[in-house]
Amino acid sequence: MRNPRGHFASSLFFHAFFLFTVVIDVFTCGGCDQQPCCAVFDCLRQYRSHSYSSEALASLGSEINHCFDCNVADWQMCLPFNMGTDERNGMELKVDSTCSDVCPNYTFVFILYENVDLNDCQDLGGVEVGSPGRSGYAGCAPPENPTVWRFVDECD
């Protein structure tokens, strides 16, 4: 007959070890257990700020462009990534990607406001970002150059 306490203790140890591993992974790689995500997160973290001025947002896209490469399938699952806030309006900013129709050829990376619907985008002073390759709303971006990376520019 098996000892139920021994089974419980080993199960508890397993769950504690698993939780510890997840916490370490979240702390070191932003929650993604895939190595390409860790590389993207480490790169983007260099440019993360508490808040961004208009001038800082204008240069952010070109600064983080090198964080992405032509192996879209390796890093696309790593996004969105929170970058900070726009100091003009206090809105959270994220780096996110979209692809439609023909992937990865129509993959774009954008700097977007977090959770802003189409109706509120113009009121916020943002720019509507459409999903490339089809009509559709991908998000609301700050007015400063929201496109960070385009597969067709970087990989063709």
- Same domain? For 111 and 41 the reply is yes
pLDDT on residue 1: 45
Name, in order, each residue with C-beta under 8 angstroms of 131's C-beta and a sequence gap of 6 or more. Answer: 98, 100, 137, 138
pLDDT in tens, 43-102: 999 999 999 999 999 999 889 988 988 888 888 888 999 999 999 999 999 999 888 777
- Same domain? For 26 and 61 the reply is no
State which H helix or E strand residue 45 sits in.
helix 35-45
- Same domain? For 24 and 73 the reply is no
- Same domain? For 80 and 112 the reply is yes
pLDDT on residue 148: 81
**Alpha-carbon gap, residue 51 to 91, rounded angstroms:** 9
- Same domain? For 40 and 26 the reply is no
- For the chain, counts of helices (H) and of strands (E): 6, 7
Residue 6 confidence (pLDDT) above 80 = no
pLDDT in tens, 95-154: 998 887 777 888 889 999 999 998 899 899 999 988 765 567 889 999 987 788 888 788
- State how many domains the chain has: 2
**Alpha-carbon gap, residue 118 to 69, rounded angstroms:** 29
- Binned at pLDDT 50, 70 and 90, residue 42 comes out as very high
Residue 155 confidence (pLDDT) above 80 = yes
- Same domain? For 10 and 62 the reply is no
22 vs 30, higher pLDDT: 30
126 vs 35, higher pLDDT: 126
pLDDT on residue 132: 60
pLDDT on residue 135: 60
- Same domain? For 14 and 89 the reply is no
DSSP 101-149: SSTTTT-EEEEEETT--HHHHHHHT-EEEEPTTSS-EEEEE-SS--EEE
pLDDT on residue 32: 52
Task: Report yes or no: 111 and 66 within 8 Å, Cβ to Cβ.
Answer: no
Q: Is the dihedral of CA 51, 70, 130, 65 positive or negative?
A: positive
Instruction: Spell out a b/e string for 76-115, using b for 16 or more CB atoms within 10 Å of the CB, else e.
Output: bebbebebbbbeeeebebbbbbbbbeeeeebbbbbbbbee
The residues that bridge with 129 in the sheet, in sequence order, are: 139
Tokens of 141: 């971006």
What's the number of CA atoms in the CB half-sphere (13 Å) around residue 43? 19
> Containing domain of residue 18, as a range?
1-31
- Same domain? For 3 and 77 the reply is no
Task: Report yes or no: 93 and 50 within 8 Å, Cβ to Cβ.
Answer: no
